[in-house]
Structure 1
């Protein structure tokens, strides 16, 4: 490590750039210091957005008898979150998105679109309802949602545009636990080490290619329910609530 002038293996958790490089721009005849985020697939797929209590989406449960609370929470299958949602529906309950658990992340999402928390909440609900996991597939489901169509009238390409911007923000600047100023923290791009050892660089000069890579190669994933405190019915005041957690991982 000393030969590489490296003092730490990992960057600070609040830092997006993993490596700094000087990029020679032969067209502009300049040398630009640029930060790159490095993702290695050698030991398994990396996360794009890490789970935390900061990424919990809060849903209110309507029309569910409180007497079913313990019965639903007692479900302990491997797919317990999905099975608990199924049980809520079977007992007449409906999950309605309320808000995010942390206002910082909600504020960050609203920078992309004021309705963006609603869109991600619906994608989460579809994911935990076992309809899809891949981001592009979940986006397709958004465009087919009749309730969202009546409210916003957005097409598939509209949702795709917004989701791509969200993925780019998560990759290059936005951290759920902090209010985001909207600025990119990684000005170079992404360096991806594939599982076959090939190194690929997605420079921000090729933004469209980079966005397509993120969009086609990411998925929603279930994180630890105990650690991140989601997936159980709980009472807050006189309301029954249920948290769903957002984590995004690369496929390849």
Structure 2
């Protein structure tokens, strides 16, 4: 049966072939521009397949495919991988949905690569041994691949676990009022319309809690202020229409809803949001109890729309965090999937309204 995958899944194979063909990967700045004088030579890419583990070693101008104990299985010029990568990129750009690429699949089978996605139980998509020219050290690193070849990639997925619960204060709503608000279902801006309807009746949303205790604990472990900060980001997005986290951070820095001491210009909100984004990017998942360790300990590989691959290495943490902070934005997920954006009358008579937290990268 032919392999089929979407643009993002084929993008992982493109990354493998492109990196092996070029033998190095350049660092990127916060605006997705290549830093010409900063690159990392690739020593080896390690891949797990159902059939076993395989190492793709760069040697002179060849790629040598080996077993983990060093037995050579195949040797090909690196230029072959580059040609295959360019042909794959063309096919990805010409297709939509789930599709097969027979020519690429044939080459994959030749190089002992039989699946679109390497085996992984965490956020690591590819494991690479890189040479750091500054420290002269070779280090094995796990990277998460984010592709721009399809739609914007997700940094933190929407789910029931990412629901934030708000109480409706300052108003008494009848069952008819609740039914009316919940019936508002325009094609666009459903959440905004429902929140505005609550405000028009005199109601106010006041943050109550993060619904999922695991996500709540993960956030508190990172920073005890994060649940309240995220709640204020969600409200600010509704009030202003702004979606980028950098701009939202600037807005709540001005209003200072948590009452930080602003006599000094400490970037309280930006710092805490960057810490959250980094943790979500490299290890933390909402519905899984997190131990604080990063799975993708190398950072991110970004596949740009033109096929260029940029490295955001965790060793350059400031640059990595600036990239995330400059490119992350809030997206409203489907209200039919995650049970949010409806007024719920609780058993104690209080009224709840849920907003969902989802983050994507431009």
TM range (shorter): over 0.9
Matched, 1:232 2:342: yes
1:130 CA drift (Å): 3.9
**Cα deviations across residues 88-108 of structure 1 (Å, max 9, x unaligned)?**
111011111111110111111
Q: Distance in 1 between matches of 2:256 and 2:271?
A: 19
Match of residue 197 from structure 1: 307
Go from structure 1 to structure 2 and tell me whether the alpha carbon gap of 1:96 and 1:212 turns closer, same or farther (over 3 Å shift): same
Contact preservation (8 Å) 1:143, 1:156 = no
Matched ranges for 1:63-142 at <5 A? 63-67=170-174, 68-77=177-186, 78-142=188-252
RMSD of aligned residue pairs (Cα, Å): 1.8
1:29 CA drift (Å): 4.2
1:4 CA drift (Å): 4.5
Q: What TM-score comes out, normalization by structure 2 length?
A: 0.65
Match of residue 272 from structure 2: 162
Contact preservation (8 Å) 2:232, 2:257 = no
Matched, 1:250 2:361: yes
Largest Rg, 1 or 2: 2
Moved >4 Å (runs of 4+): 11-14, 26-29
Aligned residue pairs total: 249
Go from structure 1 to structure 2 and tell me whether the alpha carbon gap of 1:34 and 1:232 turns closer, same or farther (over 3 Å shift): same
Match of residue 352 from structure 2: 241
**Cα deviations across residues 170-228 of structure 1 (Å, max 9, x unaligned)?**
00010001111111111111000011211101111211111100000110001100101
Q: Distance in 2 between matches of 1:106 and 1:234?
A: 21
Residue aligned with 2:197, SS: helix
**Cα deviations across residues 37-91 of structure 1 (Å, max 9, x unaligned)?**
0000011211111100010000011123231101111111121100111111110
Go from structure 1 to structure 2 and tell me whether the alpha carbon gap of 1:64 and 1:40 turns closer, same or farther (over 3 Å shift): same
Runs of 5+ unmatched residues, structure 2? 1-107
The structure, 1 or 2, with the larger RCO (C-alpha pairs under 8 Å, 6+ apart) is 1
Q: Distance in 1 between matches of 2:354 and 2:119?
A: 28
Q: What TM-score comes out, normalization by structure 1 length?
A: 0.93
**Cα deviations across residues 119-162 of structure 1 (Å, max 9, x unaligned)?**
0001011112343100001101111225422xx33556121111
Matched ranges for 1:19-58 at <5 A? 19-58=126-165
Go from structure 1 to structure 2 and tell me whether the alpha carbon gap of 1:112 and 1:76 turns closer, same or farther (over 3 Å shift): same
Match of residue 70 from structure 2: none
Q: Distance in 1 between matches of 2:120 and 2:334?
A: 19
Counterpart of 1:220 (choices 324, 327, 330) is 330
Matched ranges for 1:181-196 at <5 A? 181-196=291-306
